[in-house]
């Protein structure tokens, strides 16, 4: 689990009656879709044993597991444990990695039931559950609410959306699902803010919109591809003004001093609007942009090959 700027201290584990959490959800079944991921030390090109790296993951297809990228990181050796296969540890193959949004996909040979991704808008005070392995207390559930459905996080120039929750997320929860009362994934546990004297319940999960984008990209292209406009911009009177076009392919469609008014019929008034539309874009569908160019408004349709950029 990543801890930002401040220090995390351990809490005593308080066991709640399972019936207090479970109402209409079958948590035993949901936890069968959650896996334990453990990274291993490397010695002479072979794994030597546990390095202390513990994280969570969950099935998004019958043979694909999603987790946080920092759970595996640069390690070439990791094992996966499932409740459905007690006493056994499995290997997996990384098929997609996005360091900037902290997401990773792993292909596995042992099957599991995928958790559905939430298709609906999320809202403040919505009840959620975080599933995972906090402090190596395996297959645990914590309950909370959505504190904010949309927080922007900037990493290496890439702006992404994270969901804020007060559901307990601790070391070991990273990569686990945050789900709603329907059992749909709203986000992937990623990082927390914690003071020296304990957790304030300020916890963050990578939005499932990012996860869906990576899954769609892998299905369409066999790898992860990021969508970007390839322009530098500023906001002038609540409108996005292009100050530099950095991509030659984009230059066929957009020009310096263009104002981007809408993308896919949604007004672009700030960074949040822009990030939302790029996240929501699906493979092979052109990006529809309404541009103010001088005294004239025009529509441009930007194809995938001008937008996408392969990620390692």
Q: Provide the CA 204 distance to its chain's centre, in angstroms.
A: 10
What is the token pair recorded at 133? 């392995």
What is the token pair recorded at 22? 């479970």
Distance CA(91)–CA(110), nearest Å, equals 9
Catalytically annotated residues: 70, 102, 174
DSSP letter, residue 228: -
Name 120's Cβ contacts closer than 8 Å, sequence gap at least 6: none
Residue 80 in contact with residue 58, Cβ under 8 Å? no
What is the token pair recorded at 112? 């599991």
End-to-end Cα separation, the chain, in angstroms: 22
What is the token pair recorded at 125? 């005070």
């Amino acid at each position: 689990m990543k801890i930002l700027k401040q220090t995390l201290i351990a809490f005593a584990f308080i066991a709640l009656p399972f019936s207090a959490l479970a109402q209409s959800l079958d948590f035993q079944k949901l936890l069968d879709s959650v896996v334990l991921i453990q990274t291993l030390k490397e010695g002479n090109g072979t794994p030597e044993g546990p390095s202390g790296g513990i994280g969570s993951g969950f099935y998004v297809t019958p043979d694909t597991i999603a987790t946080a990228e920092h759970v595996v990181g640069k390690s070439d050796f990791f094992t996966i444990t499932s409740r459905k296969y007690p006493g056994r540890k499995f290997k997996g193959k990384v098929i997609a990695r996005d360091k900037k949004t902290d997401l990773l996909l792993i292909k596995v040979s042992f099957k599991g039931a995928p958790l559905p991704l939430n298709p609906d808008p999320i809202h403040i005070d919505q009840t959620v559950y975080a599933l995972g392995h906090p402090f190596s207390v395996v297959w645990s559930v914590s309950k909370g609410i959505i504190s904010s459905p949309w927080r922007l996080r900037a990493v290496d120039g890439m702006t992404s959306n994270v969901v804020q929750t007060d559901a307990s997320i601790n070391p070991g929860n990273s990569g686990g699902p945050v789900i709603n009362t329907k059992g749909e994934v709203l986000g992937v546990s990623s990082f927390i803010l914690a003071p020296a004297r304990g957790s304030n319940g300020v916890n963050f999960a990578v939005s499932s919109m990012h996860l869906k984008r990576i899954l769609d990209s892998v299905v369409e292209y066999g790898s992860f591809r990021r969508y970007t406009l390839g322009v530098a911009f500023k906001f002038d009177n609540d409108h996005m003004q292009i100050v530099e076009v950095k991509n030659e392919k984009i230059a066929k469609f957009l020009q310096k001093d263009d104002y981007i008014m809408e993308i896919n019929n949604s007004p672009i008034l700030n960074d949040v609007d822009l990030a939302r539309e790029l996240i929501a874009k699906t493979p092979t569908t052109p990006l529809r942009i309404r541009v103010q160019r001088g005294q004239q408004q025009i529509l441009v349709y930007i194809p995938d090959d001008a937008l996408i950029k392969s990620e390692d």
